[in-house]
Amino acid sequence: MEEAAPEQGTEVDVGEDRRLQPVTPGETTSGNLGAPLYIAWQLTNECNYACLHCIEESGPGKAFKDELEDDQVFSVMRQAVELDVPYVSLSGGEPMLHPRFFDLAKFGAEGGAQLKIETNGHYLTEEACQRLKDYAVKSVQVSMDGATRDTFNKMRVRGDFDHVLQGIRNVHAAGVPLEINYSPTSFNVHEIGRAVDLAYELGAGSFYTGRTMYTGNAVKTWQMMAPSDAEYGPFFEVLYAKRHEYDGRMRVHFHEMGLLHEMRERLEHPAALLIVLPNGLVKLINALPFICGDLRKESLKAIWSNFQRAWQDPRIAQFVDDLSDNPKKTAELHRWIFV
Amino acid sequence: MKLAKYVKFRQEKFGGVLFETRSEKVYALNPTAAAVVREIQAGTPEGEIPARLEAEYAAQDGEQIGREARAFTQQLREQGLVDES
At A219-264, the pLDDT tens digits run: 889 999 999 999 999 999 999 999 999 999 999 999 888 788 888 8
User: CB pairs below 8 Å between A and B: how many?
Assistant: 86
pLDDT, tens digit, 9 for 90 and up, residues A33-49: 889 999 999 999 999 99
CA distance B33 to A154: 52
Per-residue pLDDT reduced to its tens digit, A294-309: 999 999 999 998 987 8
Q: Give residue B59's pLDDT.
A: 64
Q: Which of A12, A113, A9 is nearest to B28 (CA)?
A: A12
pLDDT of the residue at A13 = 35
pLDDT of amino acid B57: 75
Tell if the CB–CB gap between A35 and B10 is shorter than 8 Å.
Answer: yes
pLDDT of residue A109: 95
**For chain A, how far is it from start to end, CA to CA, in angstroms?**
22
**Do the Cβ atoms of A114 and B75 come within 8 Å?**
no
Which string of DSSP letters, residue by residue, matches A134-169?
HTT-SEEEEE---SSHHHHHHHSTT--HHHHHHHHH
| Cross-chain CB nearest to B21 (options A17, A18, A114) | A114
User: Which residue of chain A comes nearest to B28, CA vs CA?
Assistant: A21
Lowest mean pLDDT among A83-97, A157-171, B44-58: B44-58
User: In the predicted model, is pLDDT for residue A17 greater than 60?
Assistant: no
Chain A residue closest to B19 (CA)?
A86
Task: Say if the Cβ atoms of A177 and B22 lie within 8 Å.
Answer: yes
Pairing of strands A206-210, A251-255: parallel
Angle between helices A314-325 and A259-268 (to 10 degrees): 160
Q: State yes or no: pLDDT of A202 exceeds 90.
A: yes
The closest CB to that of B12, out of A17, A19, A32, belongs to A32
pLDDT (average), residues B63-73: 83
% of chain B with per-residue pLDDT over 90 = 29
Which residues of chain B have a Cβ shorter than 8 Å from any chain A Cβ? 6, 8, 10, 12-14, 17, 19, 21-30, 32-33, 68, 71-72, 75, 79
Report, as an integer, the average pLDDT of B34-57.
Answer: 88
Confidence of residue A327 (pLDDT cuts 50, 70, 90): confident
Instruction: Please name the residue of chain B whose CA is at the shortest distance from the CA of residue A84.
Output: B10
Query: Can you tell me the distance from the alpha carbon of A153 to that of A51, in angstroms, rounded to the nearest whole number?
Result: 9
pLDDT in tens, A48-75: 999 998 988 999 999 999 999 999 999 9
What total of structural domains would you count in chain B?
Answer: 1
The predicted model gives A166-175 an average pLDDT of 98
Q: Would the CB atoms of B10 and A21 count as touching at under 8 Å?
A: no
DSSP secondary structure string, A182-198?
E---TTTGGGHHHHHHH
Residue A8 is predicted with a pLDDT of: 30
For the cut 80, the answer to whether the pLDDT of residue A11 exceeds it is: no
Helices (H), chain A: 70-82, 101-110, 126-134, 149-155, 161-174, 192-201, 218-225, 229-245, 259-268, 300-311, 314-325
pLDDT reading at A25 higher than 50: no
Q: Which of A9, A13, A139 sits opposite B27 (nearest CB)?
A: A13
Answer yes or no: are the C-beta atoms of A139 and A205 closer than 8 Å: yes
Residue A185 — left, alpha, or beta (φ > 0 → left; ψ -120 to 50 → alpha)?
Answer: beta
Q: Tell me the CATH number at B9.
A: 1.10.10
Those residues whose C-beta lies under 8 Å from the C-beta of residue A24, and which sit 6 or more positions away, are: A12, A30, A268, A269
The CA distance from A14 to A58, in Å, is 37
Indicate if the pLDDT at residue B55 is higher than 70.
yes
pLDDT band of A276, cuts 50, 70, 90: very high
- Tell me the mean pLDDT in the region B25-30: 87
**CB–CB contact A15 B68 (8 Å):** no
Measured between beta carbons, the chain A residues lying within 8 angstroms of B6 are 114, 138
User: Which of the four pLDDT bands, split at 50, 70 and 90, describes residue A292?
Assistant: very high
Helix locations, B6-48, DSSP H: 31-41
CB contact under 8 A, B26 and A15: no
How would DSSP label each residue in A201-223?
HTT-SEEEEEPPPSSTTHHHHHH
Residue of B nearest to A14 (CA): B27
Among B26, B41, B74, B81, pick the best mutation site for testing chain A contact (most A Cβ within 10 A).
B26
Contact list, A138 vs chain B (CB under 8 Å)? 6, 21-22
Distance from CA of B8 to the nearest CA of A (A): 6
- Across the interface, which of B19, B21, B33 has its CB nearest the CB of A19? B33
Nearest-Cα distance to chain B for A179, in Å, is 10
Residue B35 has pLDDT above 80, yes or no: yes
- Measured between CA atoms, the residue of chain A closest to residue B69 is A19
Contact yes or no for A11 and B32 at CB 8 A:
no
Residue A31's pLDDT band (boundaries 50, 70, 90)? low
Q: What is the pLDDT of residue A140?
A: 98
Half-sphere exposure of A124 (CA within 13 A, CB side): 32
Residue A28's pLDDT band, with cuts at 50, 70 and 90, is very low
Q: Which helix (H) or strand (E) holds B76?
A: helix B62-78
Domain containing residue B14: 2-83
SS3 content of chain A, % helix, strand, coil (to 5): 40, 15, 45
Mean pLDDT, residues A180-194 taken together: 96
Question: According to the model, what pLDDT value does residue A106 have?
Answer: 97
Please, which pLDDT band fits residue A208 given cuts at 50, 70 and 90?
very high
Choose between A125 and A326: higher pLDDT.
A125
Q: What single-letter amino acid sits at A59?
A: G
Burial of A163 (0-12, 13-18, 19+ CB in 10 A): exposed
pLDDT of A313 > 80? The answer is yes
Of chain B, the percentage scoring pLDDT greater than 70 comes to 94
For the question of an ipTM over 0.90, the answer is: no
Q: Across the interface, do A19 and B23 touch by the CB < 8 Å criterion?
A: no
CATH for the stretch A29-274? 3.20.20.70
B17: nearest CB among A37, A112, A138? A37
Contact between residue A38 and residue A271 where contact means Cβ atoms under 8 Å apart? yes
Q: How far is CA A233 from CA A237, A247, B73, in A?
A: 6, 21, 43
* C-alpha distance from A11 to closest chain B C-alpha (Å): 5
Question: Taking CB atoms and an 8 Å limit, are B32 and A19 in contact across chains?
Answer: yes
At A4, the pLDDT band (50, 70, 90 cuts) reads very low
Q: Whole-structure pTM over 0.90, yes or no?
A: no
Amino acid occupying residue B12 = E
**Res A5 pLDDT > 50:** no
* Average pLDDT value for residue range A161-188: 97
pLDDT at A201: 98
